[in-house]
Structure 1
């Protein structure tokens, strides 16, 4: 198909009011006509640190913003290393006066801001004559946009592709007399749109007297573009197809622009940039492509081979890639050394200019020009850092060398903590100055134990343990004591490091835990609930603990603090106890063992966090010969869930069955009575009666602070289990005043978690009017928070 068409000019212009311009000082701004663009530079000493440009034409002024510049053919940047701001304006930029594609006239406003914040506006005009004839097709890969222009009479037919056939079919079915554009994307349906719709997406189509021009920003603004990888290089492609129907003829123009967007990299010796040798997307698959000439330069100007060789530049061309290398500090680049943020830096910048000429199967020439700024990363002064750490020693040993005689180390910062040499040596760290062999240089050796508080520790569930240390050396140059810094990071890594593992064994009246010690057990703490397992905690709670260099053994008697209980009946119940290891700082649990064992039931009282009390007790202690199945609570309808010959099992809510409640200064007490049904002396049915001398009182006490939800939401939900007691009143016989005897029992509980149970009631004898209150010693007079 012939590449020939006529396209109307479509440029979207913004109209701004005119601006009064001041006279431009001599030498403050310079202009230069290059092959395909006008270069405008202004010194920052004149323009300040925030100069900006506006394009001016008959319609007004148009601020050149970042987005507007990428759409309209302007590239503006501030270059502090060179001390100037720079504007590159394409010969086909939006507001340039074009005379026959030969003479181009530009008009700009330069707006400057001085040190006092005062703005000034200066007019800048320039006219460029075309220095080099146009190639049939030219592609410009600027820093912020891609531009392609081609002669309107270029034609070539060299086979077809499926994509082109699909585009042709779509054109025949959709073309109108008004020009439209379709963007071809792999796997996407071709959708015709108007030029105005394309302009809203950032694309500009332009017709000069003899050339067709298309401009596109880079992705992500270029929503119709695509990014592909060609021979290891990233290439951005935008493929528009223009279509129009003129009577019975459908006209199509296949435009495509492709640019390598690889950034230069620093390889330790210089800057390296790479691009594909054949940028095949430029021909859309309709014809072949052959590279005929490749040239390189800097700052928008090509250099001949003798100059590039003299500077040490290299241009390596293979069948697949072109690689350009520029040594560090070579001529044509810019090196800057300075102290920034109190640190000494230097880096090297090159503005690469690349030109390549392609020929397709029809001999049509495509000339590609590319601008690419490249720079090294910030390079700190080159000192020698050697990690001499030996893992088995568990001490970071870091060597800082190549220090001249006039350089001293004054402060070292370890993971954000500052130490002078004296402070470091007093803190268990060691900093030693040593001479370097066979030289006048000296070095410093830093030693930091892995276990020191300044060392960062990172542990992963896969058993990877990592110690890391970020070091910031503060050095001064004598005698002026100008500071500079050197940074280093060291890491030590251990594999197969896991939290302690526990084993649990059920005994008749206890659960026994065992943990074998490993080298890194100190990284975790062993806990019971929210508390650390210490010898002091074990002694207070009645645990039996033995801890030596080989293992930790813990025996937890039944009904100790920390037990949880479930499935309680008159024969048996499950008691469980959990022990875990956790990180000391975050308290995150890393491993745990909850051992559940089956125990025989004697007596139980459970005061749950949900407000349910469960009690198992022997009522014959109150009234010998009493019948358990005849018992009831204060509400006589509340009967036991289970009984045997002597015991009863009740389970009821603390706000049911007639339960009494008393609010004290720090506690809330709930009480209910287990009454025994007496038989009447008459022949009538048994009569229920309440006799205080024959009552078992069940009591649950909760801290008032734990029951905020009860008073806020009228819902019982305690933060911790209540303390329960069973009070048995026995009849008076012959002995005088009441004697109070206390027998201990565990009393904290939840319905499915902490539950207090007693191991059984051991009566010292039935004394007249004696009262037995079962409560554990650890519940008595304990300061809040100690258990």
Structure 2
């Protein structure tokens, strides 16, 4: 082993010890195998799958050659060449420039990036687990390389001094040569930078000063690098070919006694080069970018490479994905169909409405050769997401009336949508509760991966409304589907009313024919089943005959299937008919009335009178043993099922006798009396002579008691988040005053109120509050305001204000008030200005009962107040509420914030 090899081995051992010593987390480092590392052009990429980081706190730190870990904030990221991005599924991508601040470089050909990743379930990172990931990548640099990352611009040039060759000098001085005056007057033996703000205006500063304001300037044995944020103070916006570029021109120089070493560095990156036209993403990049061609007269050759996720695509792959890449002498245009392979759709919920966005990460690399800089490799990396596209779900009624079951489909959705609950009528049910209730709830995946949800509810369910017009029955199902979008839990609902009309069967008149009662039924579904009383009517049973349009029910008059009823005009015979569906569910009931067929008393020659009495359907609890003749001692001689038989002589049981036209007429009456009052409920006169049949006369009437009923009323628990005009909370901005304009020096006073409730036992708690720059409460960036019911304290503390009763506030527990400092919202080291929205996650508790949902509210809420119970036990205990837009105007304040992944 040579001395050089031994020294390298000792250095690696020392680095390993330093890395282990720098671990500041409480948990021991574990295997980082789940972190996928790869070399992507002049970048190193680490990919952290969602299952390892979703809804967790993640911090990245760069490890230098001494093993010291440097926390990567957003300012350090743009200065040192780091990019951290999150996809819509919760995964994290970390990219590092090969020339990042803490890269370990060997011979300017091999580069090692070491990163410490802390993952915790708690915000304070007390339970963090640390992972160390080191990745080495070889790379061959072009003389000049320019990278337009999503959060910074970078240019590196070869610093090798060329040999003096004939014709190398030109008569025209190059633009950077105007920096010579600053170089001559600069410090000795110190790297400095001249910023070219215009052709006449320049600014000079030491490298340390440039680095302190966010620039990354570095040198290696063979290269000089400049890195800048897009919105750097010395960056100049410039229109080139209709596209706005952020441009930065510099001259780096190093001065010693005998020479001045000048290096021209220029970087220009597009900022508005992507447009959305119909169903296409159109990305246009000009080729002749003047700030990058200063000192060059001609472009000798040029080639373009296009790809996705920093992986090159072949021409065949571009064609198969239906991309269109047009490369001319002046411009390169990439047209990407929205929805094409390489990107992905993601469901989104905006204002509780469903829609989608399409996201793709393309890059464009232009390699050209000019007579000034030689070979330039120019790479632009984009993260493109299309605007929110509203896709209202479609509710489809696929109900077949004869099944007596509502069949409703709702969709279609992307596979990241889940059905979590549904409201049928006025009852909210989770999916398992709906299944327990007898509903069929299932999701159907289509061949293209989209999802449709199916709900089946029986007509007989108590939450199904019924209306009975003259010609049938109208069944009405009011349903609201509640959905959530994984993995971040955005919610939306779809409401609809589904109706199904079943026409009333046509019932014909009752006819008598040789002791048989018959009636016709029309307008029937062929799958329906007809019952006479409890017996199914079929052709085999002799009770039914059918043709193409009607069915005829035939019942013997003497059968036990018919019933006798008392009416105001006498005794009638009825046929009870029930129509059921093929599943046995009852659809219709009909009672067909017929005139009573002759049923005379039997008058025997010996003076004996015999008569039979059937149980009456209008008296369902009729006790045949209580039937009596006029003589209360005379009852039925036999009772057989629903029939009572009397037999008495003409000279018994108070039978009367009259004479008329030489006829002897005997008459008695059979009565049925109430057991309580003894009042006759039914009287049938029995008449007998020995020439004609007897006559039956019936006179009967009764009243039903009213059926008890109860009604249940419900009211919504609604919330509002409003902005007060001052800290007295007595005057609030109206709808017409939004968006409200505020300066950064002005605090914001918010009030959250529970509306439409007069219950003093209810209390409102703020679980969390946050701000976003878009109406979508799950959009990024996201600034915390209230954390776990506590006042957020970085860098300006949120302040809770007490609520007391007054003329406007009747129940103080229904309100919460807090104050927000507008300097809280930072973008990099700049205070955010522009449109901003505020959101709160609220829990409503019942202080008279105990419930874990309220006892687990954050530690900042006193224990007494947490002795409450959520008022919505069957569903989600949280309620979300948002404010309207507030517009922040600039103020002179700067701050830095740590770059952390907050749970989404």
Relative to the length of structure 2, the TM-score reads: 0.40
**TM-score w.r.t. length of structure 1:** 0.45
